[in-house]
Structure formats: C-alpha cells, structure tokens
C-alpha cells in the first residue's frame, strides 16, 4: 500500500528534464489585481466554490450503468456494473471518487488521472484518483508515459482525462490559470470588503489642525481616532475634536466605488467560465431560461453537465471489454412532478413504448410477480399504415318485379257451370 499512499499524497517530484512535461508545479501566480491565485486560494472565492461544487456534486450523485451493444439489432443490454464501479477502492465510495475526479478537472490543473489496479488475470479490481499536480507527462514519447514521484506508469496503469484540450498538447488547460484575472479581481474585491469592515472608519478622511502640533500630539490624536472609530464595532460613533482641529471627509462609499457591482459582475464572469447558469450562484440574477424549475434544471444538465459526462463516459468505457460502455443516468435530475410523470408513463405504456415493469423500475419498485409486467401492449384499433382491410361495398339488390294481377272470377259463369 506504500505505492498508493505515495500516489494519494503530494509526492516530491524529481527535477524536470528535457523530456518530461514542465508544468508540474503548485501553480501560484499573482494576478493583475496583485492577489495571488492558486487552485486552493481560488476556492476561497464563493463563486468558484459554488461552481465547482455544483458540477462535481451533480455528477458524483448520478447513478452509472454498464451496457453492451447487441450487434446487428441496434439494441443494448444492461449488465451488472464491474466491481470497481460499485466500489472504486477500499477507502472511497463512488460519490467520493467521482467528486475527486471532477475537482481535478475543474479546479486543479484541468486534468484527471485515474490509477488502475489489476489482479493477476489483468482485470481491474480498484481505481484511485491521483493528485493531478503530482503527475508529469512525457510529451515526446510515442506512447503515453506518466510519472508520479520517481515511479513511471504506462497508459494501462493510469487513465488520463483532460478537460479543455488544444492541438499539440496532451494535457488539458486549467480553468484556474485561464480565469486568473477574473478570479484575482473577485478575491481582491472580497478582501477590500473584509478590510473595509475590519479596518475602515466611517469618518474616513483627514484631520485639519489650525496650528502646528508637535509630532507626539499628532500620534496621540491619530491613535485616539483609530481607537474610537476604526472597525465595524465603532462605526457611526460620535467624534469629538479639540484644539481647533476639524475633520474633512475625503473618502467615497463602497457603493460609489461600485464595490457591490464589481463583486456581482465577477460572480457572473466566473459562472460563465464554468458554464453554470448565473442564477444558481447569485440569487439576484433572474433566469431567462424557461418558466419553471424543471426547464431551468434541464438547461443546467444539457449545457453544463452533459459535456463533462461525455468526457467521463468515453474515457471510462475504454477500460471495459470491447462492445461494453458506461452511461450516467441523468433521468434522476430531470424528473417531472408526480402527476406529469405518471401521465407520461400512461402514454408510454398504452402505446407500447414501455412495459409496466420498466415503469416500476424507474420508480424504484419491484417487478410485477410472475413476469406479467414484461408485456408490451398497444391499442387494439392501431394498425400499420396501408394495412387497413377495406370491406367491399355490398352489391345492389335487383329490383323486384311486381306480381301479375289475376283477373277477377266470374260468378255467373261458375254458377252456370255448376248447374250444367
């Protein structure tokens, strides 16, 4: 376990050579605002923390399923998940594992590295999220090679998932590095606000003295002002000046300096960097997407989560046998209201799209006993187009000939005959 411990901790790296990637560092650089920005300091900004946690928590909370394609049928078959998807390693749950992977992509250096541990037969038995800032890449080798500390790994042992990619580079780009100025300005505005309440005075300005006070008197007067009026506890206190001294205000309020607007604008900019709807991190922003929570949630899934999920699915599927792949189930985040959901189920069942057991599975219910819920049904009066049976029109009945009228009987003749 010493190797895994070395991987999980921040190992001391060997000095970079002409071959290995030179970006392995604890990236901390000053921004134009004068504030130093690193992956750790960036997360102290609430907007960055919110964006990272929204995406990482949203993905880590999704169930993941394994499928196998059925050739020549255009269908798929759901399989049991491999052991390492159900329990990544002895120390982490799937939620913790995927959260670490996403934070590596979102907040460290734009790359996630997964160490795979195999048994004697070559089957993966556990996976670990490696600290991305402790990994070096051989950019010049024909095959991917990775180094963690003084240990080298092949692409069979470490799975590399880059975030934002550009041609000519194997490593992904860091969101923190490329949004350094926006994050630095946000941190500077936050520090300014904190210092305003801890050190600022509501009577900000200068003290004008009519005479020429001695240096000691100036120091005493400044000390008294700071003691009486500096800090949030002394705000709005009554000031008293003696000896002909007068107070002259020369400062501007945070509102005049557009302090609050600056902070709000930085929140929106950081949301744009992470492609998170701004109203999710700033309640003062009104969403213009959709009219309900469900539609706004769908926007977050479609434009924020799906690209990240696709990266993960394609990378993880490469660890499975040929023809198998994984899919994150986003239906849990898109569940409609109960009445709307069941109305959709009724329509799907009545039109043969879903069976009762499939509906019950979506609601975490057991199948109907005896396999009676597996049958797909459809209305009796539905037939394929063109297959309708048209009954021939009945032949017209021939016109009936009226019966011939018989002449009336001659009573006299009959009588004569009888008498004869």
User: Is residue 99 one of the residues assigned to a domain?
Assistant: yes
User: Is residue 390 one of the residues assigned to a domain?
Assistant: no
Work out the pLDDT band at 357, boundaries 50, 70, 90: confident
Interval 174-203: pLDDT, tens:
888 877 777 777 777 777 766 666 665 454
Q: Are residues 117 and 226 in the same domain?
A: no
Interval 77-120: pLDDT, tens:
888 899 999 999 999 999 999 999 999 999 878 899 999 999 88
The 3-state DSSP composition of the chain as helix, strand, coil percent (nearest 5) reads 40, 15, 45
Q: Which residue has the tokens 């107070």?
A: 247
User: Is residue 93 one of the residues assigned to a domain?
Assistant: yes
Helices 46-60 and 180-199, axial angle in degrees (round to 10): 120
> What is the domain count for the chain?
3
Residue 393 buriedness (CB in 10 A; 0-12 / 13-18 / 19+): exposed
Q: Are residues 117 and 43 in the same domain?
A: yes
User: pLDDT averaged over the chain?
Assistant: 75
Work out the pLDDT band at 398, boundaries 50, 70, 90: confident
User: Is residue 419 one of the residues assigned to a domain?
Assistant: no
Cβ contacts of 60 within 8 Å, gap of 6 or more: 94, 95, 96, 97, 98, 99, 102
Q: Are residues 44 and 135 in the same domain?
A: yes
Q: Are residues 18 and 122 in the same domain?
A: yes
Indicate the pTM of the whole model: 0.66
Q: How far, rounded to the nearest angstrom, does the alpha carbon of residue 149 sit from its chain's CA centroid?
A: 32
- Helix (H), strand (E) at residue 413: helix 411-419
The CA distance from 249 to 189, in Å, is 23
Q: Which domain holds residue 287?
A: 2-182+262-314
pLDDT of residue 198: 64
Neighbours of 282 (CB within 10 A): 17
Q: Are residues 269 and 213 in the same domain?
A: no
User: Is residue 216 one of the residues assigned to a domain?
Assistant: yes
pLDDT of residue 233: 52
Q: Are residues 37 and 117 in the same domain?
A: yes
User: Is residue 407 one of the residues assigned to a domain?
Assistant: no
């Amino acid at each position: 376990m010493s190797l895994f411990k070395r991987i999980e901790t921040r190992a001391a790296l060997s000095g970079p050579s002409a071959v290995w990637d030179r970006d392995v560092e604890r990236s901390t650089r000053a921004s134009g605002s004068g504030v130093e920005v690193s992956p750790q300091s960036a997360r102290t900004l609430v907007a960055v923390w919110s964006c990272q946690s929204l995406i990482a928590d949203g993905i880590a909370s999704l169930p993941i399923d394994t499928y196998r394609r059925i050739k020549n049928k255009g269908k798929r078959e759901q399989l049991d998940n491999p052991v390492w998807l159900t329990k990544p390693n002895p120390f982490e749950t799937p939620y913790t594992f995927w959260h670490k992977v996403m934070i590596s992509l979102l907040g460290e250096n734009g790359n996630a590295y997964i160490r795979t541990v195999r048994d004697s037969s070559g089957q993966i038995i556990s996976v670990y999220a490696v600290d991305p800032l402790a990994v070096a890449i051989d950019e010049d080798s024909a095959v991917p090679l990775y180094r963690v500390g003084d240990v080298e790994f092949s692409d069979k042992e470490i799975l590399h998932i880059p975030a934002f990619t550009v041609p000519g580079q194997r490593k992904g780009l860091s969101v923190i590095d490329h949004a350094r100025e926006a994050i630095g300005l946000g941190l500077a505005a936050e520090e300014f606000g904190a210092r305003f309440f801890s050190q600022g005075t509501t009577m900000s300005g200068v003290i004008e003295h009519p005479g020429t006070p001695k240096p000691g008197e100036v120091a005493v007067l400044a000390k008294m002002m700071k003691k009486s009026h500096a800090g949030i506890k002394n705000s709005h206190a009554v000031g008293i000046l003696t000896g002909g001294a007068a107070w002259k205000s020369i400062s501007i309020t945070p509102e005049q300096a557009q302090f609050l607007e600056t902070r709000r604008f930085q929140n929106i900019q950081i949301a744009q960097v992470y492609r998170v709807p701004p109203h999710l991190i700033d309640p003062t922003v009104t969403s213009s997407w959709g009219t309900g929570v469900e539609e706004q949630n769908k926007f977050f899934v479609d434009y924020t989560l799906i690209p990240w999920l696709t990266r993960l699915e394609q990378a993880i599927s490469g660890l499975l046998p040929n023809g198998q792949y994984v899919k994150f189930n986003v239906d849990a985040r898109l569940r409609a209201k109960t009445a709307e959901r069941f109305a959709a189920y009724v329509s799907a069942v009545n039109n043969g799209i879903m069976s009762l057991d499939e509906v019950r599975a979506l609601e975490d219910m057991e199948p109907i006993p005896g396999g009676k819920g597996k049958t797909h049904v459809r209305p009796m009066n539905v037939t394929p187009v063109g297959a309708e049976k048209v009954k021939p029109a009945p032949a017209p009945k021939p016109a009936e000939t009226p019966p011939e009228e018989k002449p009336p009987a001659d009573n006299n003749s009959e009588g004569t005959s009888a008498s004869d």
